[in-house]
Amino acid sequence: MSRKHYNGEFKARVAIEAIKGEKTVNELTGEYGVHPTQIAQWKKQVVEEVPRIFSMKKVQDARKEEELRSSLYQQIGQLKVELDWMKKKVGLNG
């Protein structure tokens, strides 16, 4: 007995149909040829992942902000070193 492998797009389509509730699970089983338990699992996965999808933007924004902050601190440090060097050079020549 071989197992069927479904791609993500197919799983999402079936799960969204199940979430909509316009058709019964048995109707979806007949239409897509997928076991009702599998449809329930895909539906559960989608419902559980939706909040994470919306929170990912906040995480990405925070990561970008941290990268910018780090870069700015690095630039500030470099400029401070250069300023100190210039002050010493002017002090020695002045």
Write out pLDDT tens, residues 56-81.
778 788 889 999 999 999 999 999 99
CA dihedral in degrees (15, 18, 20, 24; nearest 10)?
160
From the list 38, 16, 15, 18, the residue with the least C-alpha distance to 27 is 18
Residue 82 maps to a domain: yes
Q: How many CB atoms lie within 10 A of CB 11?
A: 19
Q: How many domains does the chain have?
A: 1
- Is residue 3 situated within a structural domain? no
Q: Is residue 74 a part of any domain in this protein?
A: yes
Mean model confidence pLDDT for the chain = 90
Both ends of the chain: CA-CA distance in Å? 89
Question: Is residue 20 one of the residues assigned to a domain?
Answer: yes
Has residue 37 got a pLDDT over 90? yes
pTM for this one? 0.56
2 in a domain, yes or no?
Answer: no
Domain of residue 85 covers 8-93
Give the residue carrying structure tokens 């071989």. 2
